[in-house]
Structures are given as C-alpha cells and as structure tokens.
Amino acid sequence: MQSDLDDCNKENNTMVVKNWSSNLVVPVLVCEKFQEPLWLGFGCIEVDAISRRPFRLANPLNVPAEVSIISIPINMGLVLKIGDAEVQKALIAPYGTINCEVFWKPRSHISMREAISIHCEGVGKIYVNLHGVAGRGCEVTKCVNSVRFNLRLHAE
C-alpha cells in the first residue's frame, strides 16, 4: 500500500507534496522532534479580505498520531482548519498526511508576524510561523507571497 509520503521529496526533514487537484506544491510539516517551523507568507492583502495558505501535516511513524492546536492568535484574524473541519484535534494515519489550511482575515491595517503551536502526540510542539501585511489599497503586485521551506524546491 502506497502512502502520501511515498510521493514526497524529502530533504532535511521537511517535505513538499504536489496537490493533485491543482498541481501546486503544498508545503508539509512533519510531526517529529527538532522539526524547524514552517513559514507561510500571506504577502500584502486588503483589510477584510480573506486569504488562505494550505499545508499538510505528516506522520512519519508506523502508529497513528493525534495532533491538536495549542495556540493560534485568533485576535489577529487567523483560523486554522485541520482536515475537513475547523477542529482542535485530528488523528493522522500511520505514514499518512492530513490537509490543513490557515485563513487570515485582517480587520485593520496591520503588519502580522505570528505563530501557531501544534502538539504532536509523542513528539511535542511544532510550529507554523506566519507573516503578512494588511491595508486598504494594498498593492499586491509589490508584495511577495512567500512560502519558506528548509529545502531546495526543484521544478518537475
């Protein structure tokens, strides 16, 4: 049986997975000790607009792993969706992945640099670091939407 992890490029304990439906590269945060934070950039967005950034959580173990949200700065307009719903906990199958999305809806002109803490059973905390700028008339073309990985991405 082939898992989602079999189709990943792995280097420095960070992976990327192709999003089969849209053919985009989606960053993967692996639930393991000493994992570096995943960086997701929202770039520049309008106040009251909603922007989303997908990623996946991966379980490299041969047993199911429960993941749960420890903290998320909701006062900044951030929401984390794990799996198909906005839940606080989820179970990742052995060697499996689960889809996640961070949504940001800024309510004022702000510069945002925040972190989401996630607890992985048997591993401890892992982090998703977020950054972006919000404002009215924000010139999106001058801002860079970035996703930082700790690996070199190779175009296929």
The answer to whether the CB of 82 falls within 8 A of the CB of 126 is no
What confidence tens digit (pLDDT) does each residue in 77-136 have? 999 999 877 778 899 999 999 999 999 999 999 899 999 999 999 899 999 999 999 987
The average confidence (pLDDT) of the chain is 78
Q: Of all helices (H) and strands (E), which one includes residue 18? A: strand 14-19
Q: Which of 37, 106, 110 is nearest to 74 (CA)?
A: 106
CATH class of 4-148: mainly beta
- Which of the two residues, 20 and 93, has the higher pLDDT score? 93
Which are the contacts of 117, defined by CB distance < 8 A and separation ≥ 6? 69, 70, 71, 72, 125, 126, 127
Q: Which of 107, 45, 116 is nearest to 79 (CA)?
A: 116
The ranges assigned to domains in the chain are 4-148
pTM over 0.95: no
